[in-house]
Amino acid sequence: MATLRGESGSVEFETGGGSLATVVGTRSWSLSITKETLDTSVHGNTFRQFVGSMISGSGTVELVYDPDATGQAAFVEDIVKANDAADASFELFTTGNTNGTDSVAFGGIITDMEITSTVGELVIVSCNFITSSTITSNLE
């Protein structure tokens, strides 16, 4: 059984027509996927019955801030887009960064961003996102 350590993961991001690029300085990422259910029970059923319905996701990417790090500026600045057309592409990797391998990919929108600067500590940027398209799981 393989054991994955957090140091192996990475994030790739692209907004508006380019190609995915690694966001340098990624400290962590999380993704929660939710599937709604519809009640299909009918009169006479003893037990409720459900079917899966709409799927959505949300999560967070945390970065050690470096204004010169590849991919960070585009990622952080995506929050200030008005009327965002959900044109951002994400790929979150559990290991490495080979597209379509050990990853989850989706289109999404960055919904909020927080920068934390504390004396004597690293400057950290935390961005939350929601998915806005098909979520493709390539986890192996």
45-49, 65-69, 107-111, 133-137: the lowest-pLDDT one: 65-69
Residue pair 103/92 in contact (Cβ under 8 Å)? The answer is yes
What whole-number distance in Å separates Cα of residue 25 and Cα of residue 50?
Answer: 43
User: According to the model, what pLDDT value does residue 44 have?
Assistant: 95
pLDDT digit string (tens) for 82-119? 666 667 889 999 887 888 888 999 999 888 989 999 99
Mean of per-residue pLDDT scores for the chain: 87
What whole-number distance in Å separates Cα of residue 10 and Cα of residue 23?
Answer: 8
Average pLDDT estimate for 15-28: 83
CA 118 vs CA 9, 115, 122, 123: distances in Å: 26, 10, 7, 7
Would strands 10-15 and 88-93 be described as parallel, antiparallel, or unpaired? antiparallel
CA 34 vs CA 11, 39, 55, 95, 108: distances in Å: 21, 16, 6, 23, 15
Quick one: which of 94, 77, 63 has its CA closest to 15?
77
User: According to the model, what pLDDT value does residue 122 have?
Assistant: 92
What whole-number distance in Å separates Cα of residue 92 and Cα of residue 99?
Answer: 9
What whole-number distance in Å separates Cα of residue 105 and Cα of residue 14?
Answer: 12
pLDDT above 80 (res 45): yes
Residue pair 60/49 in contact (Cβ under 8 Å)? The answer is no
What whole-number distance in Å separates Cα of residue 122 and Cα of residue 117?
Answer: 7
Average pLDDT estimate for 45-69: 93
User: According to the model, what pLDDT value does residue 76 have?
Assistant: 80
